[in-house]
Amino acid sequence: ATGAALAYDRLVVSFLPLPHVKVRGIQLHRQNAFEVNAKELSVYPRILPILKGQFNIHRIGLLSPQLKLLAGSYPVMQPDPPEGKQDRSIEDIIRQAIAGLFGALTAIDPGMDLQIEEGSVALVFANASDLRVDSIDASVKNDAGDLSLSFSCRSDPLGDLYITAKADIGGQQADGRITLTDLNLQPLLLQAALPGGITTEETRAEIEATFSVNGPESLHSRFDLRFPSLTVMRNDLKLDLDTALISGTADYADNHLTVSLDTLQSAQPALDLSASASIGPTGEGTGSVAEIHAAAKVLDIAVASNVTRAIAGDLKAIQTAFSYAKSGQLSDVTYLAGFEIDE
């Protein structure tokens, strides 16, 4: 059906201790499309269905699978050009991710046990750098619709990724934990723009997050982010932060995304803020509107000027305000900004 050529070195059928089939030295390829190599594939069928003349798979083990995809052969895998990233709003990305998650889970047969060890995936793009994911280890078990997952891998930009999760497939509910270390943000932001034209330079981060999904339109997450250094830019303005810490929650419901920051700190410049931001559709139904709230008990005016200009822009009102307030400290500070995002 795929037009691919399949070859293997050896096929072994065993009945002890349990009936199973092992295929070693697997090679599957389709010219100018994909290539798959695996050291070993093990398939364990269910015993009772065999007695009835049926064949149902209970467990699959895959050792050292290596998948190479030529992205140009599959239009859906083409990387979005930077100029087209504005076409995908943050709300769209979240909604599509939730739908895609449960759509993928329904394809896993009840009772299935899948184990992958030492895997790798390479996406080869014609006009962009290849994307590699290595050291893939995964365990997926579906116990009559209650699914458990553990997954780990290494790649750039993701760095080291660890995921543990549980899901009720029928009820469309899930919860889990995600840990990312040595994360490179810049390539990820080429696929989804930050609101207000805000961008970042190449920076590394560590993320610890928990999440829960309750139906296709509801998501809650708690996160902690650590940046050894972080550069935020908007237009020609730049803000450099050293040892930045960000912690808070993210909630998506009723087509609105709300992010609340319990802590937003950096060593240089000295910042200690709390903030919240929300993104949702406009009343006209086209585009989105974003609102940002921030507060600090004590804030240095020079620091406030740099931060405000970098995030909100060098607007005339901001220039006027900081032409009068140039130095010193402010107490019990609040900040509010709103802007529309064109889709």
- Distance (Å, whole) CA 78 – CA 127: 10
SS3 sequence of the chain:
CCCCEEECCEEEEECCCCCEEEEEEEEEEECCCEEEEEEEEEEEECHHHHHCCCCCEEEEEEECCEEEEEHHHCHHHCCCCHHHHHHCCHHHHHHHHHHHHHHHHCCCCCCCEEEEEEEEEEEECCCCCCEEEEEEEEEEEEECCEEEEEEEEEECCCEEEEEEEEEECCCCEEEEEEEEEEEEHHHHHCCCCCHHHEEECCCEEEEEEEEEEECCCEEEEEEEEEEEEEEEEECCEEEEEEEEEEEEEEEEECCEEEEEEEEEEECECCEEEEEEEEEEECCCCCCEEEEEEEEEEEEEHHHHHHHHHHHHCCCHHHHHHHHHCCCCEEEEEEEEEEEEECC
Residues 6+ apart with CB under 8 A from 9: 24, 25
- Distance (Å, whole) CA 233 – CA 186: 12
CB atoms within 10 A of CB 117: 16
Give pLDDT, residue 342: 58
β-bridge mates for residue 59, sequence order: 44, 113
Give pLDDT, residue 319: 61
Low-confidence ranges of the chain (pLDDT < 50): 75-80, 82-86
CB 183 within 8 A of CB 225: no
Residues 6+ apart with CB under 8 A from 15: none
Give pLDDT, residue 204: 80
Give pLDDT, residue 76: 44
Residues 257-272 as b/e (b if ≥16 CB within 10 A, e otherwise) read: bebebeebebeeeebe
Give pLDDT, residue 152: 96
Give pLDDT, residue 77: 41
